[in-house]
Chain A
Amino acid sequence: MPRAIRGVLVECDPAIKSIIVNIDSDNHDYIIEELDEERVVIKENMVAALKAKLEERLAENHPDDESGSE
């Protein structure tokens, strides 16, 4: 019998996916399965926490000095 694992399919661009993988690498408590370059399955109860962490990382990736350097 195959296994059926409850979770949330996240479809995003490869850049976002790599950030998710990076966030998960600390404790491995978000990702259930990496499917491909643009898809991961994550634990249902971790979606909100992951989104919050993602916002944090994205904020870090857009520092003020980048836009002001022109």
Chain B
Amino acid sequence: VVDQIRLWQLENERMKTTVGFLFKEFEDHKEYLAIAGFAEEIGVLVWRSDKTGMFFASKHEQIRDYLRIRKKAE
């Protein structure tokens, strides 16, 4: 029984969870690259996939602000 419990704990340790925000559905790949790059730069990027054009960030406030500034500049 002890061995089993140890085994389950091991399985749980193999699972990492991070609270944050999934960014998806960008207008185009250029926009995706710019925003993902910004997220990386400010240190909130957790995961990115250039293939699917999605990324996961631990925070969203600064990214939101950056998006707004970009829109205004257009």
Contact A58 B11 (CB under 8 A): yes
B33 interface contact, C-beta 8 A: no
For chain A, give the interface size range: 20 to 34
Number of interface residues of B (CB under 8 A): 34
In the bound complex, CA of A47 to CA of B20 (Å): 13
Interchain CB contact (< 8 A) of B46 among A3, A9, A44, A51: A9
B38 interface contact, C-beta 8 A: no
A21 interface contact, C-beta 8 A: no
Contact A44 B19 (CB under 8 A): yes
Contact B49 A36 (CB under 8 A): yes
Contact B4 A47 (CB under 8 A): no
Point out the residues of chain A lying under 8 angstroms from B15, CB to CB.
Answer: 10-12, 16, 54
By a beta-carbon cutoff of 8 Å, the part of chain B in contact with chain A is 3-4, 7-8, 11-12, 14-27, 31-32, 35, 46-47, 49, 52, 54, 56, 60, 63-64, 67, 71
A-B contact pairs, 25 of them (CB 8 A): A1-B27, A2-B23, A3-B25, A4-B21, A4-B23, A5-B21, A6-B21, A7-B20, A9-B18, A9-B22, A9-B56, A11-B17, A13-B14, A16-B14, A16-B15, A32-B22, A36-B49, A41-B22, A47-B17, A55-B8, A58-B7, A58-B11, A59-B4, A62-B7, A67-B3
